Structure 1
Amino acid sequence: LGRIYYYNKMYDEAKKSFQNATLANPKNADAHYRMGLINYMKKKYSEAIKSFDKAIHVKPEFPKAFYSKGLSFMKLNDKSSAIKNLKTAVKQDPKLDRAYFNLGNIFLESKNYREALNYFTKDKQLRPNNPDTNFKIGEAYHEMKSYNNATQFYEKTIELDPQHYQALFNLGLIKYAKKQYNDSIALFQKAANIKTDDHASYYEIGKSYESSGNENKAIESYSKAISINPNYTKAYINLGQLYSKLKLFDKAVEQYKNAVTNNP
């Protein structure tokens, strides 16, 4: 009954059911585990850890409990405890792909890119066609400035998920860095079409147009970025510099004033 409540997101009812189960049988590892999941879903991460510990005490070989405990520590920003529990999870169950993925994320955030790649690659061996895994490998390579490898995995991500905004955007950044402006514009435009309220794509389109010598399109794109986010200082500065280059000094001064107003 508790599981039915849980899967229907009736967490209070599920919690009561699992509490009764643990009272009736304190060695019911699954009930303790489910209690932990409910506390996790309710963002009570410390309580969740206590429940997972009870489950593990009863059943020491419980990879999903170690995995969920690791996620709880991640939410509490306790990375060392998260790593310890996630590593135990994959030691007990080497096919627990999401544990590899989350280990990779921790090391990526810690800028330990080689270790991140190690875990994302293990995840990819289990889930070769998962777009997020391929994207994360690309991101790790990108941070390592291994642009050809990053390109390969971003392209694979987009092949698997053509609507993957961040892969399109990041690949656009690489194409821009390589001065492949037509490609970068096309990629940023696809990203902008997916996330219509995002100023960053239009700003990058503006930079690509400006670098390719198309000042009018650059002005149009910077202006679009500003219309989406009127507080976007970088777009005002670039627009001001572009107007100065075109000797439209009154317009340039206006944009610089806007930049100062937004970033005094």
Structure 2
Amino acid sequence: MDLIKQGLDLMKDQKLDEAAQKFNDHIEANPEDPIGYINFGNLLIHIKEYNRAKRFFEKALSLDETLPTAHYGLGNVHFEEEQYAEATQHFQEAMKQGLDEADVYLMLGMSLMNQEKPKLALPYLQRASELNEKDIDIQFQYGLSLAYANLIDEAHEQFQIVLELDEEHSDAHYNMGVTYLYKKQPQEALTHFNRALEIQPEHLLAGNAKQQVEEALNE
């Protein structure tokens, strides 16, 4: 078994120090192979050592600037550091170089959402949702982008999909309630705000919304 495969298996088992050693051994034996640097960079993101991770991805790109996974990794570093414009550039480059997976569409969409560009984010999050229909986070983020783009009916349907995947998703219940308010159906909204609070009693947004709806209904 090669060192990269051993390192990846160790990462899956949360044996991160041992995984790092395997990746390091691969780099020492193959200093011109960018794959070692990419995998070490991914491990460093996992332990939130973003500055070190950035150096590993940049080293990989200095060896081969067309590597999509290196651009994706560097995009993740910038995203974690809230540098969303830079993240966007690297996720776009990863796609340009052939990366066609749900995660890169998700991250590009979320980078654009964080730059308050929901309409630009929409097609990427939609594509992510198509590529991974069972991923709850992807489906939820797509629902949020629809809501922020004022596509309320479509957002409502999307949050329903999330709740079919996870009936205990408190944020989906809250956002479903908000769509019902837009539809001028306060009783249905209240049902979902209450459900969100049953699941997560400290859900501040649901608590505030519940209070406002109840006050309006009592007037």
Q: Quick one: which of 39, 53, 61 aligns to 1:56? A: 61
Name the structure 2 match of 1:30. 35
Q: 1:130 to 1:14 in 2, by over 3 A?
A: closer
Equivalent residue number for residue 219 of structure 1: none
Which residue pairs with 1:68 in the alignment? 73
Specify whether residues 21 and 137 from structure 1 end up closer, same or farther in structure 2 by C-alpha distance, changes over 3 A only. closer
Counting matched residue pairs gives 214
Task: Quote the offset at 1:3 in angstroms.
Answer: 3.2
Residue 108 of structure 2 is aligned to residue 100 of structure 1: no
Aligned to 2:25: 20
Q: Which residue of 2 aligns with 1:131?
A: 136
Structure 1 position 61, deviation (Å): 4.2
Amino acid at match of 1:187: H
- TM-superposed deviation, 1:102: 0.8
Contact (CA 8 Å) 1:185, 1:208: kept in 2 or not? yes
Deviations 1:185-237 (A, max 9, x none): 11111111111233432332232222222x8xxxxxxxxxxxxxxxxxxxxxx
Q: Does 1:161 align with 2:161?
A: no
RMSD in angstroms over aligned alpha carbons? 2.1
User: In structure 2, what is the equivalent of residue 109 of structure 1?
Assistant: 114
CA shift, 1:56, in A, is: 3.0
Q: Which amino acid aligns with 1:35?
A: F
Distance across 2 between alignment mates of 1:121 and 1:3: 30
* Secondary structure class of the residue paired with 1:212: helix
Opposite residue 155 of structure 2, the aligned amino acid is A
User: 8 Å contact 1:86–1:103 — kept in the other structure?
Assistant: yes
- With normalisation by structure 1, the TM-score equals 0.73
**How far apart are the structure 2 equivalents of 1:128 and 1:4?**
26
1-side partners of 2:36 and 2:129: how far apart? Answer: 32
2:12 is the alignment partner of 1:7: yes
Structure 1: distance between partners of 2:119 and 2:203: 31
Q: Which moved more, 1:7-16 or 1:69-78?
A: 7-16
Letter in 2 for 1:208: V
Please tell me whether residue 119 in structure 1 is matched to residue 138 in structure 2.
no
Q: 2:139 & 2:47 partners in 1: Cα distance?
A: 30
Give the distance between the partners of 2:34 and 2:46, measured in 1 at CA. Answer: 19
Question: What is aligned with 1:242?
Answer: none
Query: Which residue of structure 2 aligns with residue 174 of structure 1?
Result: 179
Q: Offset at 1:125? A: 2.7
Counterpart CA distance in 1 for 2:76 and 2:137 is 18
**Preserved contact between residue 157 and residue 167 of structure 1 (Cα < 8 Å):** yes
Q: Name 2:201's counterpart in structure 1.
A: 196
- Superposed CA deviations along residues 24-60 of structure 1, whole A, max 9, x for unmatched, are 2202322211211122122111211111122233344
SS at match of 2:24: helix
- Cα separation, 2, equivalents of 1:197 and 1:3: 38
Q: Return the TM-score normalized by structure 2.
A: 0.87
CA–CA separation in structure 1 for the residues paired with 2:156 and 2:7:
46
* Letter in structure 1 aligned against 2:41: G
Pick the aligned partner of 1:140 from 139, 145, 161: 145
Higher relative contact order (CA 8 A, sep 6+): 2
Task: Give 2:3's aligned residue.
Answer: none
Structure 2: distance between partners of 1:129 and 1:6: 24
Equivalent-residue separation in structure 2 for 1:63 and 1:91 (angstroms)? 8
Q: Say if 2:85 and 2:111, in contact at 8 Å, map to a contact too.
A: no
